[in-house]
Amino acid sequence: MREAHVFSEIVHHTISADEVRAKAPCAIILSGGPKSVYDTPAPSLDPAIYELGIPVLGICYGAQLMAQQLGGDVANTGVGEYGRTTLTRQGASVLMPEWPANVTCWMSHGDAIARAPDGFVVTASSLEAPVAVMENVTRRLHAVQFHPEVVHTEHGQELLDNFLHHVAGVAPTWTNTSIIEDQVALIRAQVGEEKVLCALSGGVDSAVAAALVTKAVGHQLTCVFVDTGLMRKNEGDQIEETFTRQFGVELIHVKAQDRFFDALAGVTDPEAKRKIIGELFIREFEAVARDLGKGGDGPRFLVQGTLYPDVIESGSGYAANIKSHHNVGGLPDDLSFELIEPLRNLFKDEVRHVGEELGLPSEIVWRQPFPGPGLGVRIVGEVTRERAEILRNADHVVVDEIKKAGLYRELWQSFAVLPAVRTVGVMGDGRTYAYPIIIRAVTSDDAMTADWARLPYDVIESIANRLIREVDGVNRVALDVTSKPPGTIEWE
């Protein structure tokens, strides 16, 4: 939806028709999902939503649910369709007015719509889905069995564009310029003449957030970089160079490594580590705010680079709590700041484009994502100074070789993981007992899903050789070939 320049919000299927009416959306899309409409329980929808006169597009499970609730038939034929499938057009379609007779689409379903509800016209089918597309133009209800949102579906984005712009009549006004203008106005209204702190990490999210707030309130902003000891190699120096000298931002560099390692001593649970790191982050900011407030009013606002996937994955009342983030799920209850989160409604690709629009350099805008808790969530087990240093050096090798191979921009993330276990090895004709390093590289568009990257063997070999040769404490290298789902991108 965002790629069609239309703002979209994810809501839970339990939303009522009255709640939908109050939100006054221009269109509704019912997503796909892993359930069957015959499961107990199965996700359902308030039937009154279909009567609101708002254009609705059902996708996969959403299509089957629409068919069942409106009087059609959904059947489990025992033969599903998974992967690339040929879609055959039939008759006139407002969703696909100029599509060819046969199109390759991406299917992923076990059940199939056997009979469309009364008033619907079937406008496409496939070998195992007799009702692959159904439309009721009068009621503005439409459904597709396939997935138009995946790149494997030919003309998929075209279908979404057509539904939004022509069927629903939504103007393509969600642009980088409009996002910046809206956020600048909101920040100015929220902040007034007050002082603001920004949690600056050196990554793209905090950099774009800082640039947005700078555009809104200028010198009212002070950026704070907390060096936790869990940052990438030479990151503190790079941040000071970029933001102090290049952008002229007022930057306070807090060197808090000892406090973080002391707080993490003996802690192995990943959620506990995230929450410890998140709370200590906030306490460090509060200490800076107190210092800045001596002799006058200190900053009352804190800027954070929270993104929409952070909000969703941290559990937003309807999504599974996959992980807590220091800037979403890990904030202490007695937070003394009022938060400013100008990127909270954006996905990562949108943040990058906004950053370019704001004039940030490409080496910042296109930097691969780095988790808020830093290397602390890439060390499986207790976080110690020794393990952090080993992982920092290993991570530097992985990224350096990925850049040399010209793959950095093609990958969503590429990094090293350190399990807190040791393995036996042989180096220089002698026995070693050292750590393994796992190479993790994934491709993705928005981090909601990700596939493991098929790195060339020679690149993997170069990384492995350098890790063994250059990083003290490492004697074994493995490659993570897990996609998301079932795994997450990070290990903890």
- CB–CB of 73/154 below 8 Å? no
Given the residues 60, 105, 198, 223, the one annotated as active site: 60
| Joined tokens for residue 5 | 């320049």
How many other β-carbons are positioned within 10 Å of the β-carbon of residue 329? Answer: 20
Distance (Å, whole) CA 402 – CA 415 = 9
- CB–CB of 295/196 below 8 Å? no
Given the residues 109, 147, 325, 326, the one annotated as active site: 147
- CB–CB of 278/372 below 8 Å? yes
**Is residue 12 flagged as an active site residue?**
no
Contacts of residue 225, Cβ cutoff 8 Å, sequence gap at least 6 = 200, 201, 202, 236, 239, 240, 243, 251, 252, 253, 254
Given the residues 81, 128, 135, 149, the one annotated as active site: 149
Contacts of residue 299, Cβ cutoff 8 Å, sequence gap at least 6 = 194, 195, 196, 197, 222, 289, 292, 293, 337
| Joined tokens for residue 117 | 């509800």
**Is residue 26 flagged as an active site residue?**
no
**Is residue 149 flagged as an active site residue?**
yes
Mind telling me the catalytic residues? 60, 147, 149
